[in-house]
Amino acid sequence: MRPASITYAKILVMTDSTICYENIRHRIALAAITAGRAAQDVRLLAVSKRQSVTAIQKIATLGQREFGENYLQEAQTKIADLASLNLTWHYIGRLQSNKTRLVSSLFDWVHSVDRIKIAERLDQQRPEQSAPLNICVEVNISGEPRKGGIAVDEVPGFIESLAAFDRLRVRGLMALPAPNADLASQRAAFRLMFETLRKLNQPSITDLSMGTSDDFEAAIAEGATIVRVGTALFGQRV
């Protein structure tokens, strides 16, 4: 009887991550449709920081291709372990000058660019055989002290300076607003991001990376094209 019960336990675990994944996908589609948008216009970035390689594999088996990581050493191991799956990796953590070389060679996207010096290094250090690095400019949308991101009124000038870097491809703007339980306040911060992108008026810069487990539906209502969901998908981080 023992082998049978072990198998049963494994099936339960698999079912659990399937339910979480399908549930999030449905909530994203519903939020998009409610906002009069197409479900496929919103991409799910699975934030896998401090989640196991096994957990990532499970979600990848269900069809998820894009994963986000914050901690470089941890990400380096996972990217190597999962190389055969050909996943797309997004760096969403803080960036320091001494980490740009590794970030620029390991990742396909970087969401947290907020200094020209860092952009310059990512550009110079992008390996020749790789496609240009996709980047989002991080905006400190709630004006929080000690938080990453540039101010809203710095965005146009910053984007203009990035044009000099031909190994970077500017895709859009990213934000992590101050946590707020109130839906109207959540939406106000995301709406400001949408307006900031719209005012740039650059046809090639179209992405809005915004919304986490707590507020991705509000972000989608205001135009998010990439939502970054961690705990609602994987459960609590270890």
Ligand X SMILES: *Cc1c(COP(=O)(O)O)cnc(C)c1O
Tell me which long-range contacts 222-226 makes (C-beta under 8 A, separation of at least 24).
Answer: 222/187, 222/190, 222/191, 222/193, 222/194, 223/190, 223/193, 223/194, 223/197, 224/42, 224/190, 225/41, 225/42, 225/43, 225/172, 226/42, 226/43, 226/45, 226/172
- Please report how close the Cβ of residue 199 comes to ligand X at its closest, in angstroms: 24
Query: Which region, judged by CB under 6 A, interacts with ligand X, from 59-67, 102-110, 121-129, 223-231?
Result: 223-231
Identify the residue whose tokens are 């096994």: 54
Spatial contact of 128 and 117, defined as CB atoms under 8 Å apart: no
- Please report how close the Cβ of residue 145 comes to ligand X at its closest, in angstroms: 18
173 counts as binding ligand X under rule CB under 6 A: no
Whichever of 154 and 214 has its CB closer to ligand X, that residue is: 214
228 counts as binding ligand X under rule CB under 6 A: yes
- Please report how close the Cβ of residue 70 comes to ligand X at its closest, in angstroms: 5
For the chain, the straight-line distance linking the first and the last C-alpha, in angstroms and rounded, comes to: 32
Which residue of this chain has its Cβ atom nearest to ligand X in the complex?
230
212 counts as binding ligand X under rule CB under 6 A: yes
Q: For residue 30, give the nearest of 198, 190, 228, 221 by alpha carbon.
A: 221
202 counts as binding ligand X under rule CB under 6 A: no
Task: Please give the residues from 69 up to 88 whose contact with ligand X meets the rule CB under 6 A.
Answer: 70
Task: Please give the residues from 126 up to 155 whose contact with ligand X meets the rule CB under 6 A.
Answer: none
- Please report how close the Cβ of residue 50 comes to ligand X at its closest, in angstroms: 9
Query: Which region, judged by CB under 6 A, interacts with ligand X, from 3-11, 59-67, 183-191, 224-232?
Result: 224-232
- Please report how close the Cβ of residue 58 comes to ligand X at its closest, in angstroms: 17
Task: Please give the residues from 34 up to 73 whose contact with ligand X meets the rule CB under 6 A.
Answer: 47, 49, 70
Please, what's the b/e burial string for 127-166 (b: 16 or more CB within 10 A of its CB; e: otherwise)?
A: eeeeeebbbbbbbbbbeeeeebbbebeebeebbeebeebe
- Please report how close the Cβ of residue 112 comes to ligand X at its closest, in angstroms: 7
Residues of this chain that interact with ligand X (CB under 6 A) are 47, 49, 70, 92, 176, 212-214, 228-232
